[in-house]
Amino acid sequence: MKSEIEQLRRELEQHNYNYYVLSAPSISDLEFDMLLKQLQKLEEQYPEFADPHSPTQRVGSDITSGFEQVTHQYPMLSLGNTYSEGEVQDFYDRVRRGLNEDFELVCELKYDGTSISVTYENGLLVRAVTRGDGEKGDDVTANVKTIRSIPLRLSGNYPEKFEIRGEILMPWSVFDELNREREAQEEQLFANPRNAASGTLKLQNSAVVASRKLDAYFYYMLGENVPSDLHFQNLQAAKAWGLKISDATRVCKNLNDVFEFIKYWDIERKNLPVATDGIVLKVNSLSQQKNLGFTAKSPRWAISYKFQAEKAVTRLNSVSYQVGRTGAVTPVANLDPVQLSGTTVRRASLHNADIIEALDLYIGDMVFVEKGGEIIPKITAVDKEARFLLGDKVQFIKNCPECGASLVRYEGEAAHYCTNENACPPQIKGKMEHFVSRKGMNIDGLGSETINLLYQNDLLRNIADIYDLKITDLTRLERLGTKSAYNIQTGCEKSKEIPFERVVFALGIRFVGETIAKKLAFAFKNIEALEKATFEELIAVDEIGERIAQSVVQYFAEPVNMETLNRLKAFGLQMSLSEDKMKAHGTSLAGLSIVISGTFSLHSRDEYKTMIEQNGGKNVGSVSAKTSFILAGENMGPEKLKKAEKLNVKLLSESDFLEMIK
């Protein structure tokens, strides 16, 4: 009986592959369902032959628990964007200068879905993780196993273990049908297939995920034993193992090949069954990719080209104003509904007062709307010939629409700001939402709706109040049960273990993002030193400019902020760098300015940059009289070499550098 069950599984897996990957079914849906029921019946009769990778397991379960956070073995970075052939040319030239040798590019369609990383071991799907914050994501394996185009079991000569990345998508036909059902049930409609796919993948009920008929394409393989040094060949190998790889993938020898690919798919993509928003260009050779390395946010060996946005014409009915957590006031145009790139657009950003003035807007104007990068709707022009029975001219407001405080515009800034930082409701709630976010203190249960509810009931007025919340206060509110209250309290306790650098980010100091927060944390080691840091001490830190330094000084000069900080300290949050991180940062390069040039065999450029920072050194991009030495690899840039000789700057090899920092 075991052999009969295994034979049925193999047969169903092949039919599944034919239908969902090759789009070439060899049997009818009815015949497939009959075979599947036959297998289900046999598995029920002989439970000793159960297999979690059986085709019968793709229906999902209604008892999926919360998602576990998993750290990515290889960070999932985002790509830099280009919007013109000139910017593609610039990317090509940068790669050529960085490599100083011949290279190929692989062009692929940029599918508009949600990113996923899937791990296979011994040919079996063992884990699927979302992008998350790039360093860690949610384990959504149970949900991904319901997607028919993703094989649970591979065939052929695959590595023992590898990771493959891709995009999970909701086809247009499924998206339209889902929205029709939601409309009939008077539920909120999904804005686009990308949001629908992302929301579906995060559902706690994998049976519902299975019913949503998601699809997937894979585009990049990682691991110690991938088949080839060529990215394109690895994709073809993955295709042979049963993974779904787009046929719209081409090796390009030169820029003309790239531009031909872009022009073809800019038109042809509109006939695809799934959403796309551009082209991805990657250096084909993995060893060349390693030599090019990464910036803080994206690889230097890949970039995306975004298609020109579609445009539509509609009527401007009114302008409203939104206040963000930093006090920035954003004008929003309210429009007659119009279809654009597969979605209904009713609102569009007007960005700032300068944009409004440049457009010369009047209420009632017919305006041209497009989606920048096909994501954010914006007004690009006015059809002045169509003006008829116009209303008032649109003038930027002078007072905050939420609290009435006067707005200011700082020198060099395009935005207007509400200065009532500690009493303007959207700013207060926005700061709290930022504080509890996943990249901040990661406190579950405190979403925007809950924070708004607690604010309305006078239980929250600043971020420190979060740690004063009591179970009895929470449970007396509508929409908050005992379980939710305990989840919030548990989240608050767990957040006290969040490392210092994330606490700095969570404080919401203007202009201090994740990267800058880490720089400040590692430079000053604890909150007391950061509080006392002078403007001059701050700008001496790598990547800290005058604007950021001034913002940090102003933050700690505010008595309200210092009172909040003192309360957070008393609650037990991490206010200093952990001992292991302090130990990991040596001082062998303290005070030295170092330039990296050339290609390396032992580590990538980014790894060397990290080593320099961890040992107290400063990475600089150009050679000057202040350069301490150059970490020189093969094919060092001739201009840097010439300048180093002229200024008598020392060159250090890889091995000498590694010996230096031990």
Pairing type for strands 618-619 and 136-138 reads unpaired
How far, rounded to the nearest angstrom, does the alpha carbon of residue 411 sit from its chain's CA centroid?
Answer: 31
Which amino acid does the sequence have at 141? T
Q: What is the DSSP letter of 352?
A: S
Map residue 643 onto helix, strand or coil: helix
* Dist. CA 502–CA 439, nearest whole Å: 7
CB distance 492 to 506 below 8 Å: no
Among residues 190, 229, 10, 277, the alpha carbon closest in space to that of 106 is found at 229
Element (H, E) at 129: strand 124-130
Residue in the structure block whose two tokens are 């929003």 = 332
CB distance 278 to 262 below 8 Å: no
* Dist. CA 638–CA 115, nearest whole Å: 40
* Dist. CA 501–CA 499, nearest whole Å: 6
Map residue 83 onto helix, strand or coil: coil
Among residues 405, 333, 325, 403, the alpha carbon closest in space to that of 367 is found at 333
Which stretches does DSSP call E strand in 561-617? 593-597
The answer for residues whose C-beta is within 8 angstroms of residue 582's C-beta and 6 or more apart is 525
Which amino acid does the sequence have at 476? R
Two tokens at 434? 């930022």
* Dist. CA 59–CA 79, nearest whole Å: 34
SS3 percent helix, strand, coil of the chain, rounded to 5, is: 40, 20, 35
Element (H, E) at 494: helix 482-495
* Dist. CA 183–CA 191, nearest whole Å: 12
* Dist. CA 346–CA 162, nearest whole Å: 44
Among residues 549, 539, 540, the alpha carbon closest in space to that of 511 is found at 549
Q: Please identify every residue annotated as catalytic.
A: 110
* Dist. CA 644–CA 624, nearest whole Å: 8
The answer for residues whose C-beta is within 8 angstroms of residue 363's C-beta and 6 or more apart is 316, 317, 318, 319, 390, 391, 392, 394
